[in-house]
Amino acid sequence: MTKPLRVFISSTSEDLKRYRAAAAEVVRDAGWIADVMDHFPADPDPIVVMCQRRMRECDLFLLLQAFRRGGVPGVAQGGDGETSYTAFELRAADQISKPVLLFLADEDTWPGEFHEEESAARAWVRDFRNKVNRSGRFFGPEEGDLSQFKVLIREAVTHHKARLLDGAPDVER
């Protein structure tokens, strides 16, 4: 019996909390292990180091990105005071060619109250989304059980799993 694959799910905290939980549910339903920030234990390492280490221990990186920058760790947390946690995690995934599944909130339908308010932070998010440099799937806002979003995640995870079983390259870049 093969070990279940571990999926690191990265997103900004509050605005995508429901979406992150839905993605984790789909990953677990697929028989995989979801590694999600909501369940990180205490760790003596700086937060950026701990997040990057946990991501490296996973088999797949799943990034949910909307229009918030998210937390920006300072030097004490292992950051630089400018780059978000999600950007540090993605950078670490790219450095080791970790397979990445990208899900982007649709700019035309995502509610404005869930966008950054400050112009510099908005510009950072726009630049980050433009530089992600890989194909992604788009999702819109949903009420209730996020059923359309779950279908989108399920299709991507199922496709990735099939590619692994077929021995195909598993990096979607």
- pLDDT tens digits for 79-108? 899 999 999 999 999 999 999 999 999 999
The yes-or-no verdict on residue 163 having pLDDT over 90 is no
Q: So what's the pLDDT on residue 169? A: 53
What are φ and ψ of residue 143, in 5° steps?
-100, 170
130 against 38, higher pLDDT? 130
**Residues 17, 89: Cα–Cα separation, whole Å:** 17
Of 23, 85, 22, 12, the residue nearest 60 (C-alpha)? 23
Does the global pTM surpass 0.85?
Answer: yes
User: Max alpha carbon distance in the chain (Å)?
Assistant: 51
The yes-or-no verdict on residue 63 having pLDDT over 80 is yes
Of 1, 13, 8, 47, the residue nearest 24 (C-alpha)? 8
Could you give the count of Cα atoms lying within 13 Å of 96 in the half-sphere of its Cβ?
15
